[in-house]
């Protein structure tokens, strides 16, 4: 697509929802209208809105009034609409088609001059492919997992962290009352940021993360030592992607048509069974699940989302396409999309946060 003066932009949210998406949409719409006099088209349900007709809507100034504090996304989202591998059912079979050419035609039909895509590594990888086909676009990083390496932090993470911490605080009181081992399984996919920081913030006794494989015997040994010292309850925070030494992650299900087909979950139950068998203590498991992705964004996430939204529009105005806005504290910066999706950001087992946790007696089960 040839470069031309921008008069109308499109914006979409794709992948899993998280707190702060509406704050980005609000900032994009307001900045585009107030600063540049552009029109804004909202694309519904992620990239599906560019594959199927009837899934777009104009976004006017009044449409984004009051949405700063809302969770979710007013545009809807989807993690099953990869235009380069779009799955459909035909003749009782599931087939995959490349519908990227349809996306290019839809962008042309809608007279969209540039695009802002808001999402995680899957969404941004698709954005990178569209950019390589000539679509002028920029990306905005979103994920509660905080696993994008090109930005110090992604919006949504802080809210998820606060939600997990509050939940663990509440679980602790019942653990102490009933003298139980309480296991809290949190999200994060293959990165342990939520588990590590929520565990630290809530005073967990054992934190299990993907980056440090655990030993079940060691976990039981730590619990036994606590019992012998008169500590009749224990809190274990486990990331959904945690795995035992020499073992694999626990896969809950496979969703073939999704851009992220593997769904993790169930590691907490496996650990609980081992503790009951080896230590003979009453053990309960709480899986926080999607509660971590919901609710009103924290003040930090509202501000970061707003900064990202404004910066994304400014990148378009400057003609700096194929980039992702990012936080390089204390400033908002940008990086090429190729760098943004190059690798996941995971916890350093020798890093400061792990060192701090070990220094105050937290076990990582190793």
Rounded distance between C-alpha atoms, residue 253 and residue 284, angstroms: 22
Contact call for residues 344 and 147 (beta carbons, < 8 A): yes
Residues 6+ apart with CB under 8 A from 8: 38, 39, 40, 41, 110, 111, 112, 113
In the residue annotation, 145 being an active-site residue is answered as yes
Rounded distance between C-alpha atoms, residue 228 and residue 115, angstroms: 60
Percent composition of the chain: helix, strand, coil (DSSP 3-state, to 5): 40, 20, 40
| Catalytic residue from among 45, 121, 145, 301 | 145
Pairing of strands 181-186, 234-239: parallel
- The DSSP element (H or E) to which 284 belongs, if any, is strand 283-287
Rounded distance between C-alpha atoms, residue 133 and residue 121, angstroms: 18
CA torsion sign, 143 to 55 to 40 to 297? negative
106 upstream amide cis, omega within 30 of 0: no
Active centre residues (catalytic): 145
């Amino acid at each position: 697509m040839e470069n031309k003066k921008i008069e109308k932009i499109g914006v979409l949210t794709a992948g899993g929802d998280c707190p702060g998406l509406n704050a980005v949409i609000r900032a994009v719409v307001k900045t585009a209208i107030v600063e540049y006099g552009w029109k804004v088209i909202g694309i519904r349900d992620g990239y599906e809105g560019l594959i199927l007709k009837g899934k777009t809507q104009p976004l006017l100034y009044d449409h984004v009034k009051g949405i700063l504090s809302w969770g979710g996304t007013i545009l809807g989202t989807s993690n099953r609409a990869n235009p380069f591998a779009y799955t459909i059912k035909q003749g009782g079979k599931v087939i995959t088609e490349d519908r990227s050419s349809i996306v290019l035609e839809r962008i042309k039909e809608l007279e969209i001059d540039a695009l802002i895509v808001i999402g995680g590594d899957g969404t941004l990888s698709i954005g990178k492919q569209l950019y390589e086909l000539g679509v002028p676009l920029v990306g905005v990083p979103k994920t509660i997992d905080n696993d994008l390496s090109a930005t110090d932090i992604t919006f949504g993470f802080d809210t998820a962290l606060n939600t997990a911490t509050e939940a663990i605080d509440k679980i602790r009181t019942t653990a102490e009352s009933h003298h139980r081992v309480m296991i809290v399984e949190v999200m994060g996919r293959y990165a342990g940021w939520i588990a590590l920081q929520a565990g630290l913030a809530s005073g967990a006794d054992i934190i299990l993360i993907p980056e440090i494989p655990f030993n079940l015997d060691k976990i039981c040994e730590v619990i036994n030592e606590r019992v012998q010292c008169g500590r009749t309850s224990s809190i274990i925070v486990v990331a959904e992607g945690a795995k035992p030494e020499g073992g694999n992650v626990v896969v809950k299900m496979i969703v073939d048509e999704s851009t992220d087909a593997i769904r993790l979950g169930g590691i907490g139950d496996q650990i609980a069974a081992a503790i009951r068998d080896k230590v003979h203590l009453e053990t309960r498991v709480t899986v926080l699940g999607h509660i971590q992705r919901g609710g009103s964004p924290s003040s930090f996430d509202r501000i970061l989302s707003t900064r990202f939204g404004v910066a994304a529009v400014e990148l378009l105005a400057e003609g700096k396409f194929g980039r992702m806005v990012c936080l390089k504290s204390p400033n908002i910066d940008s990086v090429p999309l190729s760098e943004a999706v190059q690798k996941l950001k995971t916890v350093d087992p020798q890093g400061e946060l792990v060192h701090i946790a070990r220094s105050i007696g937290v076990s990582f089960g190793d």
